[in-house]
Amino acid sequence: MSDYTPSQIETKWQAKWETDGLYHADIDEKRPKFYALTMLPYPSGDLHIGHWYAMTPSDARARYKRMNGFNVMFPIGFDAFGLPAENAAIKDGIHPMKRTFANIERMRGQLRSMGAMWDWRREAVSADPGYYKWTQWFFVQLYKHGLAYRKMSPVDFCPHCNTTLAREQVWGDDRHCERCGTPVIKKDLDQWFFRITKYADELLNYDGADWPERVKTLQTNWIGRSEGAEVRFALAADPASSITVFTTRPDTLWGATFMVLAPEHPLVDRLTTKEQAAAVAEYKKQAARQSDIEREATDKEKTGVFTGGYAVNPVNGEKIPVWIADYVLMTYGTGAIMAVPAHDERDFAFARKFGLQVRVVIQPDGLEKLDGATMPAAVPAHGTMVASGPLSGTPADEALQAAIRFVEAQGFGKGAVNYKLRDWLISRQRYWGAPIPMIHCEKDGWNPVPDEALPVLLPEDVEWKPTGESPLKLHPTWKNTTCPVCGGPAERETDTMDTFMCSSWYHLRYLSPRYDKAPFDPKEYDYWMPVDTYTGGIEHANMHLMYTRFFHKALRDMGVTEGPEPMMQLRNQGMVLGEDHEKMSKSRGNVIAPDLLVERYGADAVRAYLMFFARWDMGAPWNSTGIDGTIRWLRRVWTLVTEPAGKPTASPETLKALRRKVHQTLKRVTRDFETFEFNTIVSGLMELLNEMSKSREAGAAGSPEWTEAIDIYVRMLAPVCPHIAEELWTEVLHKPYSVHQQAWPKADEAAAAEDEITIPVQINGKVRDRVVVPADATEEQIRAAALASEAVQKFLEGKAPRKVIVAQKKLVSIVL
Ligand SMILES: [Zn+2]
Ligand SMILES: [Zn+2]
């Protein structure tokens, strides 16, 4: 038999599978469906090792599900719009469209080299007019249902990329652009938003969805729901006007001794007295120069200026001074706070610095009586309400509700919920995106492009170099159109959509990528949706994974989709780092190119190594020598299966032990596929190979046990290393093509059972011995074996033990 030559067998089988349509997934009502989805790549130019790391185990698991009788759909496509292509175009002058589609062509080839079970007929590319027609249609639907709106607002703007960013795209304490690292500035622009906040509460609910705790926590924190009360403080000089605050501690209202507004708060100018005008103006200027994070930093020296104006604390009628300070942000809550220095750290620091009154209104249990004049720090803990008028004496556990009831009864506020989540800003002043399908007429205002006029095509002849204006605005004719209401001259919206809009629904386009009557064929939807398993990076927790859930829920309420969630199970892979333990990047020179590895070792070895070298959910630094072990293993598999068997000479014990190991491994690999433990799948197969080599040396080859072992081994190998498994199955063992259409083997429990088990024996909590008993020993037999042990006899010194506990078949515990 010839040597193992991956390059030959891999291209051969990839071509045959393609010709035979082996991985085509079509509706089949007789079989249960399984929609396996991996996050679609961005066409950056090259498939990198991170794609392989994310996708090959996802492919292996999809294959495993198929062998288990599921009708599996495993589609792929490209998230083709977006800034990187445009930024690259600005650098080297190649049109983003040309670059993107050339990159896609290249990456298709690279994806094919992986030997994954993609159904290429279902490929979807978000920059295709046939795709973005429906992205635009969805925009119109959201608009018609009141979930898309336009407003002037200060937005985060990257001066380098010349575009607005979503809050999620502003990273780090220095608030830099996710794409280019440039510090982000604020700018006032008219923008389109999606009302994701309407779904804030529902997005906190994951009932029925098997998602990682970490993602749920990230999203929950991002949504930032807090309960409390909204309270109105009237202006002392103008009781008809008031400042509204949101507080999570209405039980501290009697301790509010001053108020603080964000410098940008609209009431600041009305409150400011002549005497304070200059100081206030100066302070506003310096605050505008700082980022939100700088302003919020807790370790920062507190600064602020008195406006000269006063508000009235509604619970006690006291006049309290109103200040402005940069630690209060317009973007959180209402842009104003009631300051309760005795029970809030920042308010305390502020009060002490400016000599403002500190009044204790909460006395936590077990603390000495607090004194506002002398306390060295704020006490934010909950406790009994004191010095709080009619509510004095209310215990800690009733304080919040009692305070809310009081506020509501008195008519100056109400119980309220606050969220950190903001509406999704989707306007981008960039070229390479789906045009926002809206038309503006002087007479009729904004109206959506009629369905029959979709898609609004992105023109090719555009100067895409950034000017801060949308490139489409600078096109001589593109924006001129007619008003869908009056038929008069009108202008198109010239901004394009955030590409997260395109990726919010790509799993639906895969259902029927060429369907032109709707975004997807409802027959396909009914069969395939929801996605059964979704795999991808955790970095998308607050963006894509939140947006796609919102999208699904909003469409469900319009009757377009069904069910609570689009993706029932989510699993995140970790990251492959460079050999230097740093994130891979071209500038560090630590990038591992999968193409070269495939050329040298074959796709199967790369697949197996990526599954083996790290816990999938954790990731690890790359290790170039490690893959040698994987290729040696595959060569040994090749030899073991291809060597002629001859006549068996092994003892019955050897054959029994071989079967036991085979079925034990099968049980383990099956379990590990279910739980995404890919590294132990490969190590299990490696261990079994060692055992099989030993049995072969002991003369097992040629026996029925041996034949069964080889059969099960190749089937278990198939999802991990699809090419070598196919070659061995079809060409060497001459079994019916294809191994990927075979059933997953069933473990024989009796064969897998151990003959004997070893049980540790504890004396007074310390392990002193281990006893070996038959696997089917009774509790009485195990007890007798433990007491008969020499070590135990020594400790007993002839006396009877006080207690002997046999814990299942795992432990014997003796108390002297
Ligand atoms: Zn940027
Ligand atoms: Zn009009």
- 40 residue type, one letter: L
- pLDDT tops 70 at residue 296: no
What pLDDT was estimated at residue 57?
97
pTM (2 d.p.): 0.86
**Ligand 1 centroid to residue 48 C-alpha, Å:** 23
Ligand nearest to the CA of 482: 2
Relative to the alpha carbon of 185, which ligand is closest?
A: 1
Mean pLDDT, range 164-174, rounded to an integer: 78
Give the model confidence (pLDDT) of 674-729 as tens digits.
Answer: 999 999 999 999 999 999 999 999 999 999 999 999 999 999 999 999 999 999 99
- Give the lowest-confidence range in 1-10, 473-482, 614-623: 1-10
Report how far ligand 1's centroid is from the alpha carbon of 11 (Å). Answer: 41
Q: How far apart are the CA of 83 and the centre of ligand 1, in A?
A: 9
Is residue 383's pLDDT more than 60? yes
pLDDT by residue (tens digit) across 436-458?
Answer: 999 999 999 999 999 999 999 99
Nearest alpha carbon to residue 567 among 522, 527, 525, 534? 534
Looking at residue 726, what is its pLDDT?
A: 98
Average pLDDT over residues 141-154: 93
Is residue 147 predicted with pLDDT exceeding 70? yes
Question: For ligand 2, a single-atom ion, which residues have Cβ within 5 Å?
Answer: 441, 443-444, 483, 485-486
Ligand that lies nearest to the alpha carbon of residue 487, given by its number in the listed order: 2
Residue 185: pLDDT over 90: no
Phi, psi angles (nearest 5°) of residue 129: -55, -35
Across 101-115, 160-174, 751-765, the highest mean pLDDT is recorded for: 101-115
Per-residue pLDDT reduced to its tens digit, 122-145? 999 999 999 999 999 999 999 999
What DSSP character marks residue 800?
A: P
Query: What is the pLDDT at residue 2?
Result: 77
Give per-residue pLDDT as tens, 642-654.
998 889 999 999 9
| pLDDT at residue 293 in the model | 57
Q: What is the tens place of the pLDDT at every residue in 522-557?
A: 999 999 999 999 999 998 888 999 999 999 999 999
190 CA from centroid of ligand 2 (Å): 20
253 alpha carbon – ligand 1 mean position (Å): 44
**Which ligand does the CA of 183 lie closest to?**
1
Kindly give the distance from the C-alpha atom of residue 439 to the centroid of ligand 2, in angstroms, as a whole number.
9
Distance 428 CA to ligand 1 centre (A): 12
The tokens of 661 are what? 């190991």
- Amino acid, res. 775: A
Q: What pLDDT shows up at residue 85?
A: 84
pLDDT band at 173 (very low <50, low <70, confident <90, very high): confident
Counts of helices then strands in the chain (DSSP H, E) = 27, 33
Structural contact between residues 403 and 250, judged by C-beta atoms closer than 8 angstroms: yes
pLDDT of 647: 92
* DSSP, residue by residue, 536-595: EEGGGTTTHHHHHHHHHHHHHHTTSS-SS-SBSBEEEE-EEEPTTSS---TTTT----HH
**Summary mean pLDDT of the chain:** 93
Query: What confidence category does residue 416 fall into, taking pLDDT thresholds of 50, 70 and 90?
Result: very high
Cα separation of 242 and 378, whole Å?
Answer: 27
Per-residue pLDDT, averaged over 231-239, amounts to 95
Q: What is the pLDDT of residue 42?
A: 94
Indicate whether 43 pLDDT > 80.
Answer: yes
Higher pLDDT among residues 161 and 205, named by residue:
205
Q: What is the pLDDT of residue 653?
A: 93
Name the percent of the chain lying above pLDDT 90.
Answer: 76
- At 810, the pLDDT band (50, 70, 90 cuts) reads confident
CA 656 to each of CA 317, 353, 753: distance values in angstroms, whole numbers, following the listed order: 89, 82, 11
Average pLDDT rounded to a whole number, residues 92-115: 94
User: Using 50, 70 and 90 to split pLDDT, how confident is the model at 393?
Assistant: very high
Q: Using CA atoms, how far apart are residues 78 and 646, in angstroms rounded to an integer?
A: 51
